[in-house]
Structure 1
Amino acid sequence: MTPEPERPAGTAAQAPEHGLRVLAEAASALRVHTPTGWRAVRDDLLARARRAHRPSAPVRGRHALGEYLVACDVVVGELREAVDGVAGATAVGIACATSAEDLLERVTVEVSVVFGEHLPTTARAVRDAVGARLADLLGDLSPGAAGVDVHVHVGDVVVDAAGLGRSPRDGA
């Protein structure tokens, strides 16, 4: 065991005082930086909480071999891809509602649209894209255009297609 180094006289008495001074400086620095730092951390924490695994509600489908369940998250991903195929629009958010029997009843699609697009035409194209993708995904149990309420909400209008967060479409 190595001997403890010798301390100059008075150092032991100064140690608690020095520690308190360092603690006071650290606390002061935290008080100065915490509000803005907390805002950045808070946004990150909220984003992480939103991304956390949550069980996805099932949506019932049917094909030649029988009925099956598709996770609502999968339905939303497929619908997002279909909506993003509509010229001049992109999906910002998609929500699905199902019955107690897990049958799809309602889809709400929030879109961002390029300025100058005819909104009723774009909304109709979004509804058609959603209906077609649901028919592919859910088979015989697909509610179709008449069986499910598809609500289209224009949540944003951007100046050009670059504002949609994807490359401009050529009408496809």
Structure 2
Amino acid sequence: EVEYIKLCGNHPRLTKKPRNKGKWNNFEYILGHFIKALAGDSYKVIVPKALLYTHTVFNSQLGLLHGDGSKAGGFAGIPFYGLKRRQDGIQALLSSLGNPRLDYLIMGHFHVDAFLQGADCDLIINPSLKGGDEYSIVNYSDSKEPRQTLLSFHPAHGLTDKSTISLGHIT
């Protein structure tokens, strides 16, 4: 079964400053419902409002969030130590609420493709669907090709493949 989870990002927000409450109230939430309507019964589309959306694929627990709460910095614009603190904080919060701990924490926001193996939870950073823009050129002298990550799971073996799909030919 193919599942597409459409999280809301910080680019199409309706306010100048990013929001925490009602973060889903932006144009990507609407786009997600357009995609859901167009998909019909072809594949499952999920458009969550949650800041951290938890999802089970076979026996693997996934946590998905946009990632804009972690400030840029570190190496290659990725705040590795800040992300590790966030990952540990999310695991502790889930445990304190009696919820299952995550096997994978998946986010975007940093516009790069990265996989960081953790002790009990791996971090996957999804690259940018839109690629480079004026902001990335002015601030980083960089413009990455648009890409997305495709994850494949097996019922007994969990995550078995992480593929990067190039989208430069359609933008």
User: Under a length normalisation based on structure 2, what TM-score does the superposition of the two structures give?
Assistant: 0.29
User: Under a length normalisation based on structure 1, what TM-score does the superposition of the two structures give?
Assistant: 0.29
**Greater share of helix residues, 1 or 2?**
1
Give the structure, 1 or 2, with the largest relative contact order (CA under 8 Å, sep 6 or more).
1
When Rg is computed on C-alpha atoms for both structures, the one with the higher figure is 1
